[in-house]
Structure 1
Amino acid sequence: MGSRSEGANRPRRTAGLRRLRKRLWQPPRPHGQVRAGRRVSFLELFYDLIFVVVIGRAAHALAADVSWRTVGEFVVVFGLIWIAWMNGTIYQDLHGREDVRSRSYVFFQMLILTVLALYTEHAGGEDGRAFAVVYSVLLLVLTWLWYVVRRHDPPELRPVPALYLIGMVLSVATVSGSAVLRPQHRLLVWAVLVVAWMIGLMLLHRPDRSIEDIGVRPSPALAERFGLFTIIVLGEAVLGVVVGILDAGRTPRAIATGLTGLLIAYAFWWTYFDLVGRRLPGVTGGWFGRWVSLHLPVTGAIAAAGAGMESMVEHATDSHVPLATGWLLAGAVALLNLGLIMLIRTLNDYRRLLPVYRPVNVALAVGAGVALLIGWIRPPPWMLALSLVAVLAAVWWVGVNRMLHLPDPDEALPKPE
């Protein structure tokens, strides 16, 4: 009797295990199945924190030797890091679940990113080959994830994901093939790839169609993730100030210069989050792809400024800021301003808040020019930092002043938390 009842219960246990496995290991959500009201998960926050280490290694290499060559290397390497983060972030927002499968793939990416950080600081030189190999593995994992999504997409939504998948495959082939090249040629190939990604994202879908027609709906959670990445690079700026003060011997002049430089990071925060933070792009006119791609120069400028702050504090006692450092900081502010001008135009609120954004864009353009002029003058380090803060503060004030003149100022610009 015991063996007979055990045999009868075996199909039930098997069916129960299948149901459990189905719940824990589900396929990704196809395009079009957007989760309304989704919030950023703790796993996504953990994933973003891994990039603190990777970006920190890249910024440290730039801060240690500020020159035109190292700036170029930083721009290219940061671009590759951002492409990896963007792919992982958008995939999780559109297709991820709270099951074991999604979590396992996120943690697997984090393991690869940890190894990638080991080779990031000298990716433009002796560690470039190892960086290319590890980065190729990361892209290969992301390519597999996007491929599985396409397999579960309805037929009418497959053309655009197919083009995206082709871009991922070409990226894997390009980066892996660059491992056999000389460092200068390898960097050139990487630079072309980064530019191609920016152009490709801007041409992601036809301007006369809505992004929702291909099953993509920008969510508040996605806007929050892009804001969190901005906070990550702002944190690197704070770290740059602390490292610069320590390297300068913690002298009163270095501490004062560092704290003044820290105001630049504060001004970046105010400018970004009051003007574009948590605001979604338009769903028509091709604005979504542009909104995504334009975050690359904006966040890259902030990260580069962090490296510039470290170098600036180390030269706190100089009568003039070093030429390369001055141009790096001033150029970062100018690039941030110009990037925000283009980013603002992608926002869904741009037309509604045109009385605010039109003068703000003018102020951003003027501020970019003034920042470059300050960098050319090469004032003492503390004065350079204070002058750039004044430029960013003036731009912010233009926006706030216009906001206060609207009928409902509370609805004009978001209140940062």
Structure 2
Amino acid sequence: MFDLCFVVGVAQAAASLHHALAEGHAGAGLIGYLMVFFAIWWAWMNFTWFASAYDTDDVPYRVLVMVQIVGVLILAAGVPRAFEDKDFGLITLGYAVMRLAMVALWSRAAREDAAGRACAVRYAIGIGVVQVGWLARLGVAQVVDLDGVLGLVVFVALAGAELVVPLWAERHQQTTWHPRHIAERYGLFTLIVLGESVLAATLAIQTGLDRGLATAALLSVALSGVVIVFGMWWLYFAWEAHPLLTSNRTSFPWGYGHYLIFSSAAGVGAGLAVSIDYATHIAHINAFAAGASTAVPVAIFLLSVWFVHIRPHQVSRRTNLTFPITAALVLATPLTPLPIPLIALLLIALTATVETAR
């Protein structure tokens, strides 16, 4: 339930990215997408690790989970405003609701778990202090223009502070999260995000068919898109993740690296939708930009899955080289007449190589 509600926010962010790319506003659309996705991913990730350590599942716990769900739905409702009007007010409000619920959960853990009290108190303080920073940013934005470089710098600084909180909180004491549970939750969210990519492409196909634009190019993109998403699923689950989660030293890079995995997986859906828009003469971009809309997120997905999810398994040198080489070839596909089918063929070849090495 929690993950599915968070994917509403992912869907809104991906849909806004799709429209920005199709209209030729790649730079602004990408920055907005990465900012919004950070808020969704970070709130989801924080609760996921907390739930693995403190899953009491009683009434107060469930109520605070519901509060976080309400927060992400508020955030999702604010995504179009953020992309179209640069108005981050509703997104900040939704994020504040989610984060304050986490402060309450950590405060309760500090009160009821004497052994983990110091760590829980640090989490509650750290999250609360950074949240004050986000709200202050929103207040300053009312009197100072934060749409440009200054706003981006402030965002990066606050996002960096968010990333530091767990490192500080667990420096001397590790929470009692469970490796298999964490791996399962991340795997489930990956499946849901890949499903969102399929949905985004399907809706774009439906739009083309409704307009009577059922062309060979549309069908080619549709079939290739299925192969691409299927290949991404295959590669992510090629090796089990829980053996990697032996300590915070290995788990933090793995968990943080999933920001790129999740955001690129959702971005593939936006890219496929853009390619379908181009094939049906809806997008206001050229062929290279249409192909790059899918090629770039697929390449980022391959590199991030390889770096944080497969390379630590100490796989063969051949497999290690195949991932970055395939990613480079994927990035070159927009220079060809049929980029999406070529990406699908490259993923088929990569999955065959991975299965041979397993």
Q: So what's the TM-score if we normalise by structure 2?
A: 0.86
Aligned CA distance change for structure 1 residues 233 and 337 (closer, same or farther; 3 Å): same
Give the drift of 1:297: 0.5
Using the aligned pairs only, state the percent identity. Answer: 25
Q: Give yes or no for the alignment of 1:230 onto 2:185.
A: no
1: distance between equivalents of 2:272 and 2:111?
A: 47
Change (3 A) 1:258 1:201: farther
What residue number does 2:265 align with?
A: 302
After superposition, the C-alpha distances for 1:344-385 in whole angstroms (9 at most, x for unaligned) are 3685xx2xxx3x35432211111121122223x1x34xx211
1:274 paired with 2:238, answer yes
Partner of 1:94: 53
When residues 145 and 205 of structure 1 are mapped into structure 2, their CA distance, relative to the original with a 3 A threshold, is closer
Question: Map of 1:16-415 to 2, 5 A cutoff?
Answer: 46-66=1-21, 67-124=26-83, 125-155=85-115, 157-180=116-139, 181=141, 182-184=146-148, 185-198=150-163, 214-248=174-208, 249=211, 250-253=213-216, 254-276=218-240, 278-284=241-247, 286-316=249-279, 322-344=287-309, 350=313, 354=314, 356-375=315-334, 377=335, 379-380=336-337, 383-403=338-358
User: Residues 202 and 293 of structure 1 are in contact (CA less than 8 Å); yes or no, is this contact kept in structure 2?
Assistant: no
* Secondary structure at 1:275 match in 2: coil
Q: Using the alignment, how far apart are the partners of 2:300 and 2:264 within structure 1?
A: 6
Letter in 2 for 1:393: I
For 2:236 and 2:286, the matched residues in 1 are separated by: 26
- Which residue type is aligned with residue 62 of structure 1? L
Instruction: Name which one, 1 or 2, has greater alpha-carbon Rg.
Output: 1
> Relative to 1, partners in 2 of residues 1:202 and 1:233: Cα closer, same or farther, differing over 3 Å?
farther
Q: What residue identity is the alignment partner of 2:110? A: R
| TM-score, length-scaled by structure 1 | 0.74
Q: Is this contact kept in 2: 1:305–1:333, CA < 8 A?
A: yes
Write 1 or 2 for the structure with the bigger share of helix. 2
Structure 2: gaps of 5 or more residues = none
Matched residue SS, 2:79:
coil
Equivalent pairs counted in the alignment come to 340
Query: What SS does the corresponding residue of 1:194 show, helix, strand or coil?
Result: helix
1:136–1:172 contact (8 Å) kept in structure 2 = yes
> Match for 1:282: what amino acid?
L
Q: Do the aligned partners of residues 358 and 366 (structure 1) sit closer, same or farther apart at CA in structure 2, a change above 3 Å counting?
A: same
1:191 partner amino acid:
V
Are the aligned partners of 1:76 and 1:187 in contact in 2 as well (CA < 8 Å)? no
Measured after TM superposition, the shift of residue 199 of structure 1 is 5.8
Q: Separation in 2 of the partners of 1:64 and 1:324?
A: 13
Name the SS of the counterpart of 1:119 in structure 2: helix
